[in-house]
Amino acid sequence: MVNLFRRETEMLPAPIAGVELLLADLDGVVYKGDGAIPGAVEALNLAAQTTQIGYLTNNASRTDSQVAEHLNSLGLTVDPQNIVTSPQAAIGLLKKLVPQGAKILVVGGEGITYELEKHGYQWTRKAADNPDAVLQGFAPHVGWEHLAEASFALQERPGVPLIPWIATNTDWTIPVAGGIAPGNGTLVSAVHTAVQRLPEFAGKPEQPMYETAFDRFKTRSALMLGDRLDTDTRGAVAAGIPALHVLTGVDRPKQLIAASQDMQPTYIVESLADLHRPYPSTKIVRNGAHQVGDARVRMEGHIVEVLAEGSSEINLLRAACSAIYASGLAIYGLKVPEILVEDHWR
């Protein structure tokens, strides 16, 4: 049977069209566990022929060279200049707060100490050394003693000025081989509880990370590729650039349907191969339905109605997100059919 809806679908340019810079998250976008996500390396190598690519990582435990070496082992062609780490963004903040040569108490690993040394700072792990600031990031070895030293250095004392505190990122969790583990945001929260103050944050979704990338690649004509709405997409929205959400990582249809305005992606794709393919437009048709391909969804007050499931699960998800986002209603006030949160991409 001929599908008239599909044949009449208007296609927009591919997401990569007209973009000067791709900013790519790593875990869940490029790789998962020890291996590359199917199709990701090929799509990124093709993109690199015409477009600059910056790989953004909130994980502060590795240096840019170590990240580049890992990506090259997967089949990408990358050098350290392509890597933007949260410690690099943190150094940009640090320079505004304390002078070169200052002593920094470090919670974290080589990703932080390497950048400090490169930019002329001293570092210590002891509050007794009277540090001028604290820089905190994730590393697998971080434990109670490290968090306690940061707390000692950051405590308020009569007559003693508070020193700056910078955290590389706010990620509450980090995916590891055994499952989901506490991330840097959880560790920062422990110190916050002890000292009753908050740090300045550098990594996604905060803007220092994006500004570091824009400065390095000399353009703001960028597209963010991510799998997490609360870091990748939220950061892109705040930076004023479009975001492509790929369904190969953390956030699934349920999270996409529920995304608040500051976390709504421009594109939703099944894999990075879709970066190079024309993207289907969304039409507002009869009765206010949102149509993508032959899938149609509309809002009837607080009820989300599926008028046509269509022949493509991804287009149904796109149509549902478009209708819900346009309503401006919070997800907890909506009645959503189960079909819209089914995950066909695991």
**Distance, CA of 39 to CA of 274 (rounded, Å):** 10
User: Average model confidence (pLDDT) for the chain?
Assistant: 94
- Active-site residue, 25 included: yes
Residue of 25, 64, 132, 232 marked active site: 25
Delimit the domains of the chain by residue range: 17-58+205-277, 87-201, 280-340
Band of pLDDT at residue 177, cut at 50, 70 and 90: low
pLDDT value of residue 3? 45
Listed in order, strand segments (DSSP E) in 62-206 are 83-85, 103-107, 122-124, 133-136, 165-167, 173-176, 179-182, 200-201
> How much is the average pLDDT of 79-108?
96
* pLDDT at site 173: 81
Q: Which CATH architecture has domain 17-58+205-277?
A: 3-Layer(aba) Sandwich (3.40)
Beta-strand relationship, 173-176 and 283-284: unpaired
- Check for a shared fold between 17-58+205-277 and 87-201: yes
56: which 2 tokens? Answer: 């953004």
Q: Would you state the pLDDT for residue 8?
A: 60
**Catalytically annotated residue among 27, 132, 232, 274:** 27
**At residue 121, does pLDDT exceed 70?**
yes
Q: Compute the distance between CA of residue 191 and CA of residue 147 in angstroms, rounded to an integer.
A: 6
pTM, entire model: 0.91
CATH number corresponding to 87-201: 3.40.50.1000
